[in-house]
Every structure is written in C-alpha cells, then in structure tokens.
Chain A
Amino acid sequence: MRARTEPSTVAFSCYRFLLLAYPRGFRRKYGDEMASLFQDRYERGERSMVLTAGLWISTLADVGRNALFERFVSVGELRPRELAGAGSGAGASSLAGVAAYACICCVAPAAVALMGSTALFAGHDLLALRPQLLSASFVLVAASLWMAYSGPSAAYSGPRAAAEPGCQGGSCTLVRVSAWTASLMWLVGVLAPWWTELLHRHAHLL
C-alpha cells in the first residue's frame, strides 16, 4: 500500500477552508481525517463534472448543517462558570467562536433578508427607508443572540459530569441550546421577507 501524502489540490484547500466553520477543538481532533476522507471521495468523482458538482453541493450542506450543530453543542457543553465568563480562555474563545458563527449563520442572512425587503417596500411605496424595519432587524438580532446564549437548561450526568469539580453526585446542570432552537433561528432569518411583508400588508405594522 502506498504511503499517503498531503494532497495539494484546490479542492482540498477549499475543503480545509470550509472546516474553519467547525469549533476549534473538533477541527483539531478530526479535521485532518475529514479532509482526507473528502479527498478520497473527491478523487472518486473527479472524472465526472456532474459527480464533482454533486459532491460539492452535498459537502456544503454537510458542513453547514454539522458545523452549526457542533457549534451549539460546544456551547451546550460549557460549564456554567465558563459561560459566566469566570473560566479560562477556552470558554471565552468558544463563546467568541459561537458569536462569530451566529453572525454568519443567522444574523447575516436575516440582515440581508431585511435589507431586501426594505428595498422592496421602498420601491413599492417610494419611501427611502422604513425605520420600523430597522427596529425589527434589531429585535431579530437580539432574539437570535438571546436564543444562542440561553435556551433551556438540562441536567447532565454521566462519566464526564462525575469527573467535573463542583458537580454534586455526578450531575451538572448545563446551559444547552437545542437543535430546535438552532433551527428556529434559521427559520426566523430565512422567513424574514415573508413575515415582514405579511405584517406590512395585513397588519399595517411596518
């Protein structure tokens, strides 16, 4: 069997860049193997343009979905004192990563959607800008961040909890953000043009 060498294709470099979406700890542990696995899949399909295009589409969906959930899991597993900011740099770093990722995944699409709907209404009503829409975008951003950092608490127990200092009886209460919350964040952002238009047309609120 031939020894594997580090591939230097553009596709491989692009995939390594995409891996930045994952939390640092996960990336350090599994990044090399994931890139290697991607490279193997890519080499199988690179003779066909259709297969390559399909691979990229499914890879983008795979990275987007799994990196998002892994980000929220990494926050969910932080200890309360880390979330309170009293912990080491690891907690703060993880929170900063989540904040950045929340901006990319939730706030940015919501902002783009709101800007789009603002432009739509401006063209329709010949108004330059609706301040109410800007207010709504702030509310949306605040709600997204609140959901990202709080969410329901859940009791965690098991070998890891048993090893935690300060956890009574092998059980800790950790702040978690569920998959439902993450999905809701996406939904609110993605559906922003629809609900703003609905409010505008039917309730005359915007």
Chain B
Amino acid sequence: MARQRQADDFLPLTAVVFEILLALASGERHGYAIMQEVERRTEGRLSLHPGTLYRAISRMVKTGLIEELDERPDETDRRRRYYRISQLGRGVARAEGWRLASQVRAAQAKSLLPETA
C-alpha cells in the first residue's frame, strides 16, 4: 500500500507553490484570480505567467495539494476552472509557515531582523 504523504514530505515549498496555497487559503479561485491575488499580496514582486502558474497548478492537483472544482461558479465564463485548497494542502501551507517563522526567529536571534518584524 502506498504510504500516505505527510505535509513535511513537501517541504520546503517553492515560492510559487506557497503563494498559490496562500491565495487559495481564503477561498476557491480560478487561475486569473490566483495570479491577481499573488500580485496584490506580493505588491508586484512575484508575477505569475500563464505557463508557470498552470504548470504549478497541474503539479499541485496531481499531488493532491489543491483540488479542481467540478462546478463553474462564474456563469459568465464557463471556461475558467476553479481550484480550492485540500486538507493536505492546508497542512502543507501551515507546515511551511512554521518553517519560515522558525527561520525568521533565527534571523532575529542573529540580529539580522528587528524583533518586531
């Protein structure tokens, strides 16, 4: 029987995968909305092109981090596929968040970052 993949198996995440998980953590979105949310959150520092975005989405659907919705909530454009974060994806995003937080604490301990960052 194949071993169930644990959240830690996916770490560390790439910036693109983590940003997609963050974008989907607040609700289901289609590709363009994910791209807009990532650009908004990163203030334009990370801009996802179609190839990068959909290749990442394809991998994430296959590994079970996100799920594709069967229905199309937007009736005006039925071509758009919607995605939502899975339970596994939420656990992976949480684990990555803790990992990054630990690194921030380490940087603060080395006086590379202020304590309030």
Q: Do A and B come from one complex?
A: yes
Residues of A within 8 A of B (CB): 1-4, 22, 26, 29-30, 32-38, 40-41, 58-59, 62-63, 65-67, 69-70, 157-162, 169-171
Say whether B2 contacts A62, CB under 8 Å: no
Known: A4-B76, A33-B54, A58-B49. A170 touches B1 (CB 8 A): yes
The 8 closest A-B pairs by CB, nearest first: A66-B51, A170-B2, A62-B49, A34-B50, A30-B54, A62-B51, A4-B77, A3-B76
Residues from chain A with a CB closer than 8 A to the CB of B30 are 33
Q: In the bound complex, do residue B2 and residue A158 qualify as a contact, i.e. CB atoms below 8 Å apart?
A: yes
| B5 sits at the interface (CB 8 A) | yes
Q: How many residues of B contact A (CB 8 A)?
A: 26
Tell me if B3 is interfacial: C-beta within 8 Å of chain A.
yes
User: Contact: B52 with A36, CB < 8 Å?
Assistant: no
Residues of B within 8 A of A62 (CB): 49-52
Counting CB contacts under 8 A, is B7 at the interface?
Answer: no
Query: Which one of A29, A36, A63, A160 lies within 8 Å of B51 (CB-CB)?
Result: A63
Would you give the shortest CB distance from B16 to chain A, in whole angstroms?
A: 11
Residues of B within 8 A of A63 (CB): 51
* B62 engages A36 (CB within 8 Å): no
B55 and A70 form a contact (CB under 8 A): yes
Contact B77–A158 (Cβ < 8 Å): no
Q: Which residue of B is nearest A66, CB measured?
A: B51
How far does the alpha carbon of A34 sit from the alpha carbon of B32 in the complex, in Å? 9
Please state if A171 and B2 are interface contacts (CB–CB under 8 Å).
yes
Binding site for A on B (CB under 8 A): 1-3, 5, 30-32, 35, 49-55, 57-58, 62-64, 74, 76-77, 79-81
| B1 adjacent to A34 (CB under 8 Å) | no
> Which residues of chain B have C-beta atoms less than 8 A from A66's C-beta?
51-52, 55
**What CA separation (Å) do A58 and B74 show in the bound complex?**
29
The answer to whether A37 touches B31, judged by C-beta atoms less than 8 angstroms apart, is yes
Given contacts A70-B55, A170-B1, 18 further A-B contacts (CB under 8 A): A1-B76, A3-B77, A32-B79, A33-B50, A34-B50, A35-B50, A38-B50, A41-B50, A62-B49, A62-B51, A62-B52, A66-B52, A66-B55, A67-B51, A70-B58, A158-B63, A159-B2, A171-B2
| Cα distance, A166 to B36, chains bound together (Å) | 43
Set of chain B residues within 8 Å of A32, measured between Cβ atoms: 79
Shortest beta-carbon distance from B10 to chain A in Å: 12
Interchain CA distance A33-B51 in the complex, whole Å: 10
